[in-house]
Amino acid sequence: MSQSSNQPSGENAPEKVSRPDIKNVIAVLSGKGGVGKSSVSALLAAGARRENYRVGLLDADITGPSIPRMFGINGLSPDSKVSPAESSLGIKIMSLNLLLPSEDDPVIWRGPLIGGAVKQFWTDIEWGELDYLFIDLPPGTADAPLTVLQSIPLDGLVVVTSPQELAVMVVKKGLKMARMMDVPILGLVENMSEMICPHCGKQVELFGASQGEEVSNTTGVPLMAKLPIDHYLAECCDKGEVEQYQSNLFNEMYNLQQKQNHSGGK
- CATH number for the domain spanning 140: value is 3.40.50.300
**DSSP structure class, residue 224:** E
Neighbouring CB atoms inside 10 A of 259's CB total: 13
In a domain, 13, yes or no: no
**Distance separating alpha carbons of residues 115 and 119, to the nearest angstrom:** 6
pTM of the model: 0.89
The domain tally of the chain equals 1
**151 in helix, strand or coil?**
helix
Residue 2 is assigned to a structural domain of this protein: no
Looking at residue 96, its pLDDT comes to 87
Tell me the C-alpha distance between 4 and 6, whole Å. 5
Handedness of CA 159, 225, 251, 249 (dihedral sign): positive
The answer to whether residue 70 sits within a structural domain is yes
Q: State residue 195 phi and psi, 5-degree precision.
A: -135, 135
Q: Exposed/middle/buried for 12, CB within 10 Å: 0-12, 13-18, 19+?
A: exposed
Residue 157 domain-assigned?
Answer: yes
Structural domain contains residue 12: no
Domain of residue 217 covers: 20-260
The per-residue pLDDT string of the chain (266 residues; one tens digit each, 9 = 90 and over) reads 444 445 554 445 667 888 999 999 999 998 777 788 999 999 999 999 999 999 999 999 877 788 999 999 987 765 556 789 999 999 999 998 888 766 666 666 666 777 888 888 999 999 999 999 999 998 766 677 888 888 899 999 999 988 877 777 888 888 888 898 889 999 999 998 888 777 787 888 877 777 888 888 888 999 999 999 998 999 999 999 999 999 999 999 999 999 988 876 54
CB 33 within 8 A of CB 59: no
Is there a domain that residue 4 lies in? Answer: no
Specify if 32 maps to a domain: yes
In angstroms, rounded to a whole number, what is the distance separating the alpha carbons of residues 144 and 38? Answer: 15
Backbone φ, ψ for residue 255 (5° rounding):
-65, -40
Query: Taking the CA of residue 28 as centre, how many other CA atoms within 13 Å lie in the half-sphere pointing to its CB?
Result: 32
pLDDT in tens, 93-152: 999 888 876 666 666 666 677 788 888 899 999 999 999 999 999 876 667 788 888 889
Nearest alpha carbon to residue 143 among 42, 8, 15: 8
d(CA 232, CA 251): 21
Residue 194 lies in a domain: yes
